[in-house]
Structure 1
């Protein structure tokens, strides 16, 4: 029975990983045509408010559902599972109500804090999506808690497809009808609300037949749970930690929304020039998001094995799995970062039409490495229900970003903002490492032999990619964006093969780690031959 349950966990984790991967790729990729259609200033308008949406979607997609699924999985009867889901709905309803009211009433002040009062209606529009957060988080969390992952996976894909379709449709219409960029931003953000409505409809049957039906008739829908205080505390500590670290990059972007444009104006730029340059700076975000998707999707394939080791109290398997997650996450994130840095002038031109902001984007993408490692440490700590080191590290990183961001922008422009983002993530990583126990440090060792091999593999790949880029562009000058895009794809494939070949030659990964990576077995066989 236990083996069957663990098999369900592993299969479900795989389904959710694929769905999450597709959703994250959609969430990153749509911003490229959006920027091309609405320009730098239109992209600035959208990206100023995007972090508010991003926090909401993190709460409803990957933060609270994970925590609620854990609560439900702890219960030993179907009745208790439904009761916990109902209590979670009550708590999230209160949280959502407070957030919606705060955003609706505080929108003018928030917009002024961002240096642009015309953002007010867009903030109010996006606030409405929080109304649906309890339905989405509890619906997904309940199904994950009973090991039925398909409903969560379907709702994730459904939500992103609807939202992206609305945004691209709005951007296309705005470009051809010459809409004001703020009108475009408001209608684009309505995609978040429409997508939330569609996803909520998907879970209505669950609420109608189970969760609402189970509520005590005499007290109504918002009955106060008997263990309300204990559950609220767990929501704030455990659920809050999961949500915060799932939204770590988004929260740093939120700080950028308040400080980058204002800092550029403080540097002497006009309002319009500052908006346009903030739009250029925001080009880094989809690239970082894609890099993180690639890096974390490989290492998270080991999460079920980590869960299994914790449940069985198998210290050896736990140590081996944690170390493998660290190795794979660090290697893939480093390779992705180095590759992007080497190709960024051309990537910038292909995706966004010119090479503006290349230096700032190059600095920003280094965040992929630190964010991937933070995610790995956080996964290990959450599997052991340890939260204090992560919370402390998160607070310290935010203090760095809040304290230095606008000063860095005034002095160094968007390059300064990129540097402070990377610095704040580095501080978080160092703080986590310093605060964890010595036994956990032993489980995730900083293996200098591994780091030196990774450095050789990454440097070799960077040199080959750089020289190949120079050679092909010398042979094929004056390429248009599509042709240059095909050349970049070819260079990326060459870089991947070079990195994999050097990694095998240096024995960067163990055989077990190679087999863990998707298609690693096939790649290993071909390259060894």
Structure 2
């Protein structure tokens, strides 16, 4: 088969630029996707919020099945064809993936739309049926969108994926908010309002697909122009290149394990979807009341997801470094990086969890108008520290080629979540569900850490890793709690006519800021973070050290 000239290798600068573009787009899109939940609850209430949070994890699971690992698989095989100088082969890989995506998307649409009633029965709430049918239409667009993104990533161009991600989330949020106000204003039922909110996912997926189609059209025009000056290939050669050089069997064999690994991720959230509404009914709530309680339970999740989002973006660079070190048989060279990364996210997670727990009341009022559900938020806040440790330790295991271990540990955590939900929710309601969430995430994190110890990549002392950070956290929590009480009383005295929500917003913002400062100071005073760690921070360390010494926060 005749092939074109080999393309030049992708420069290192282009790779870094592409990773930065893709990472920035991922942060923006995840931020939009996370924060959209707050106006949803504010406008529609906790019952609709509960329906949305019950349906979305199930949609995510089916979405992972529908996309079947396409982006990574397409990216890999397209990159291989590009490296061999065969643009026709790369296009054939894409054509094969699009055919497969049509089959998977159609099958998953039928599963979700046709089985919505059955799934709603399994969830234990009939109001979820409309939302399940509404979001199923997104499955028509997402698999093809995923295949096109994989193609451009394989070609070394990350911009189309980044732009389509931002467009997808922007349209999704805009359509959700527009339908939300329209349906609430018309007096629609909770199920219909939730269905309107879920339809934003379909609109966003369509928008992302249209963006990718625009990039594809421009790419084809560019390819045609580039080839017009070269000698035309024979008819037989063109015909041969219409068939993918990879083959369906090889493509599926590569994509399927990726799909199965991805399916494990939403299992922990799905444990709540299929148990909480039913168990809350045993706690004395009717169907609508149980879903409202489920909405209250989810009040803390957007904040926890923001912390996890920041940490996951920090851990991406670990995978290639670990993979390379393992290939060279020199894991000891990256032990310091792995330990430092885990220690950093442990500190960030502790501060986030303690801060959320102490400021649960003002944060709840700030974001959700009242204090209802604050006790569950206080408990659920502690999932932040364990989830970020699980994310980074799981990323390290992925770099070591131990993806299956992480998947098994998440399945074990999901089983713990279900078991503890059954034991605790009928007795303690959503607070019991929050306790079971903390236990499940803690189990997943600890299992990952134990596996890392087996790789001899973890040698953190109790004094450095536990006692000093916990002391800093305790002092921060006490000071922050005192600021919450004192500032609230002061504002009532100075400005008695200030609206309750505005007052609590001021309290939340100021106390969180003060808590962060106190935590930072205590890390230095206790020795949890020292001169050596601070000096390793580029630019900032050299500027900050003299200031800290002058203020006597750090002595050496």
TM-score normalised by length of structure 2: 0.83
Q: CA deviation at 1:162?
A: 1.0
Match of residue 119 from structure 2: 110
Match of residue 447 from structure 1: 461
Contact kept, 8 Å, 2:77 with 2:246, in 1: the verdict is: no
Match of residue 165 from structure 2: 156
Match of residue 276 from structure 2: 260
Question: Which sections of structure 1, spanning at least 5 residues, go unmatched?
Answer: none
Question: Which sections of structure 2, spanning at least 5 residues, go unmatched?
Answer: 1-6, 225-236, 551-556
Match of residue 39 from structure 2: 33
Q: CA separation in 1, counterparts of 2:198 and 2:206?
A: 13
Change (3 A) 1:458 1:110: same
Q: CA deviation at 1:295?
A: 3.3
Q: CA deviation at 1:309?
A: 5.2
Deviations 1:376-421 (A, max 9, x none): 1222222233322112212212222233423422122111211222
Q: CA separation in 2, counterparts of 1:68 and 1:511?
A: 44
Q: CA separation in 2, counterparts of 1:502 and 1:284?
A: 26
Q: CA deviation at 1:63?
A: 6.9
Q: CA deviation at 1:65?
A: 3.4
Match of residue 52 from structure 1: 58
Secondary structure of the structure 2 residue equivalent to 1:170? helix
Deviations 1:105-137 (A, max 9, x none): 211100111122232222111111122222222
User: Which range moves more in the overlay, 390-399 or 500-509?
Assistant: 500-509
Q: CA separation in 2, counterparts of 1:301 and 1:524?
A: 27
User: Which range moves more in the overlay, 105-114 or 150-159?
Assistant: 150-159
Q: CA separation in 2, counterparts of 1:23 and 1:468?
A: 34
Match of residue 84 from structure 2: 77
Larger-gyration structure (1/2): 2
Change (3 A) 1:421 1:162: same
Are 2:134 and 1:120 aligned? no
Q: CA separation in 1, counterparts of 2:398 and 2:63?
A: 20
Match of residue 65 from structure 1: 71
Q: CA deviation at 1:73?
A: 4.6
Match of residue 353 from structure 1: 369
Q: CA separation in 1, counterparts of 2:190 and 2:241?
A: 45
Q: CA separation in 2, counterparts of 1:84 and 1:317?
A: 38
Are 2:249 and 1:229 aligned? yes
Q: CA separation in 2, counterparts of 1:358 and 1:200?
A: 40
Q: CA separation in 1, counterparts of 2:374 and 2:24?
A: 31
Match of residue 388 from structure 2: 372
CA RMSD of aligned residues (A): 3.5
Q: CA separation in 2, counterparts of 1:280 and 1:391?
A: 29
Q: CA separation in 2, counterparts of 1:528 and 1:15?
A: 38
Match of residue 194 from structure 2: 185
Change (3 A) 1:86 1:186: same
Q: CA deviation at 1:286?
A: 1.2
Are 2:138 and 1:129 aligned? yes
Contact kept, 8 Å, 1:59 with 1:137, in 2: the verdict is: no
User: Which range moves more in the overlay, 126-135 or 508-517?
Assistant: 508-517
1:9-408 correspondence runs (5 A): 9-55=15-61, 65-66=71-72, 68-70=74-76, 72-73=78-79, 76-79=83-86, 81-205=90-214, 207=216, 226-241=246-261, 243-244=262-263, 248=265, 250-300=266-316, 306=322, 315-408=331-424
Deviations 1:244-303 (A, max 9, x none): 46xx3x432222122111111122222232222122112122122122123333444655
Contact kept, 8 Å, 2:78 with 2:155, in 1: the verdict is: yes
Contact kept, 8 Å, 2:318 with 2:395, in 1: the verdict is: no
TM-score normalised by length of structure 1: 0.87
Aligned length: 520
Secondary structure of the structure 1 residue equivalent to 2:108? helix
1:436-515 correspondence runs (5 A): 438=454, 440=455, 442-448=456-462, 449-477=464-492, 479=498, 480-505=500-525, 506=527, 508=529, 511=532
Change (3 A) 1:86 1:381: farther
Change (3 A) 1:475 1:451: same
Change (3 A) 1:3 1:92: closer
Which of the residues 412, 416, 425 maps onto 2:432?
A: 416
Contact kept, 8 Å, 1:294 with 1:333, in 2: the verdict is: no
